[in-house]
Structure 1
Amino acid sequence: MATPLKTRIAVPRSRDNSVDGIKYNRSGSKRNNFEMFAWLYMRVSGVLLIVLIFGHLFVNLMMGDGVHAIDFGFVGGKWANPFWQTWDLIMLWLAMIHGTNGVRTVIDDYAEKDRTRFWLKTLLFLASGFILLVGTLVIFTFSPCPTGADPSLVPSFCPAP
């Protein structure tokens, strides 16, 4: 009768977190609660995003003429109201940070080398920061009423020149 093959599995939260020679980035030297707060953020932001996204979809697709009414004037009219600017800004920030945190977790789980993990996360944070910056600027600097434009082309809510 053959003896069963024994597999060594590291004890969770132990100092020896290596399995098959791979050292995972889960050392006990970091004594902060970042991962707990990141986990909690994912849950809270996920619930808030459900409300924000379905509210966004309802207003854009179900009210008025639906998808056929979405054009430059529709977006300009929405973003002329500070309520919708704030709604879209919160949705942008929550979604980007939520997604970035999820990809950060995937990088931590699958990138084996510290150097690879560092560069992937650096690229991720730079890209996310750039998108947040540009998205925020677009929301707050968007002008649906350009000066000097043909009055027949500007939305009806713009003041006459």
Structure 2
Amino acid sequence: LPLYLWFFMRVSAVAILGLVFGHLYIMHVLAGTDRIDFQFVARRFATPFWRGYDLLLLAFALSHGVIGLRGIFDDYIRSRPWRVGAEAALWIAGAVFFLLGALILMTFQPGAFRGP
């Protein structure tokens, strides 16, 4: 498992870099921050591609962070019961945040919101 996690951290770091720079380029260079509003986001999320793109970014970034914190827990929490408890809480929190983020990304419906 440690070798797999080590390898995943390297692969996910490269994926995160590509996804983040793609996101920054599209949102800040092509679109321009002055044009990003609710309608822009609604149009962007109208296509499955952008929902999937943001879901991938969420999955890679969150799992990368959780695995990184797991490594810190392994280094600094010496008591096995405390370490197991902390890691269990970490994985549960990571799963909850992923499910909430995925729920928002996949169920966002701009027509449900009525603005002024």
Please give the range of the TM-score, normalised by the shorter of the 2 chains: over 0.9
Amino acid at match of 2:75: D
Q: Does 1:36 align with 2:3?
A: yes
Corresponding residue number in structure 2 for 1:121: 87
Corresponding residue number in structure 1 for 2:54: 88
Q: Does 1:54 align with 2:21?
A: yes
- Residue among 66, 76, 82 paired with 1:110: 76
Amino acid at match of 2:17: I
Structure 1 residue 120: Cα displacement = 1.0
Larger Rg: 1
Moved over 4 A (4+): none
TM-score by length of 1: 0.69
Distance 1:94 1:110 in 2: 24
Sequence identity (%):
35
Distance 1:89 1:140 in 2: 9
| Cα root mean square deviation, aligned | 1.4
Structure 1 residue 127: Cα displacement = 0.8
Distance 1:119 1:73 in 2: 43
Amino acid at match of 1:132: F
- Residue among 63, 76, 98 paired with 2:30: 63
Amino acid at match of 1:42: M
TM-score by length of 2: 0.94
Distance 2:33 2:22 in 1: 15
Corresponding residue number in structure 2 for 1:17: none
Amino acid at match of 2:95: G
Between structures 1 and 2, the one with greater helix share: 2
- Residue among 49, 59, 67 paired with 1:101: 67
SS in 2 for 1:145: helix
Distance 2:35 2:79 in 1: 50
Amino acid at match of 1:53: V
- Structure 1 residues 55-112: Cα deviation after superposition (integer angstroms, max 9, x where no partner): 0011111113x11222211111111111101100011001111110000000001101
